[in-house]
Amino acid sequence: MYLGEPVNLAMPLAKRLGELVMERGKIPGENEVKEIMETFGLTETCAGRRPRVYEGEGLVALVFQGNGHLVVDVISSTGDLGDALEVVAYHDGKLEAFIVEIVPANDISYEGNVGIEPVIVDEGSLELESSPVLGRFEEEDDGVFLVIDRGTYEKWKSTGDVHVCPVCGGELAWRGEKAICRDCGYGVRVVVG
């Protein structure tokens, strides 16, 4: 997995948190979050302190957790807040659902979610009720690509948004199973499985 930019951690992190919510019916606990961060190549610094701090490959992640919610601020280790993202996981009692969303940490007026839609999991059935476009990032010869599985692509296609970049909201230009965003330069690649 390719890291280096906050979005490169935020999107696969949101995907994994959503999967765990669907498996277990709750927001992951501290130990589960630590395991997830370690699988992404981050190391906990200042162990035992709050907020929990993780570092790795050009990124710093601050983890705030408690009372059924989880907030992970992902910041470039250069200190540039322009690309900082926040992954938020919580239970919404009104919707009777668990929500995992990615929002820019620095822009209060921003009303969207990175990944097109947030992860919305019904609290009763633990079924996914939304069509988030999340995956992992890989660096290839022709750029950095968000790698998504065929099932994610088919759900995304059914919403009619396949020409909207899940990273920045710009316009995607497709060529076969790959697309490049004309605005941010990230790509999307569809794989089997």
pLDDT 10s digits, 4-21: 789 999 999 999 999 999
CA distance linking residue 51 with residue 105, whole number of Å: 16
pLDDT at residue 112, rounded to an integer: 60
Residue 136 DSSP SS3: strand
Q: Which amino acid is at 100?
A: V
pLDDT class for 68, splitting at 50, 70, 90? Answer: confident
Backbone angles phi and psi of 110, in degrees to 5: -70, 130
Mind giving me the DSSP string for 44-59?
A: EESTT-SSEEEEETTE
Q: Please tell me the pTM assigned to this model.
A: 0.92
Q: Where are the domains of the chain?
A: 6-122, 136-191
Q: What is the mean pLDDT of the chain?
A: 90
The DSSP H or E segment spanning 37 is helix 30-39
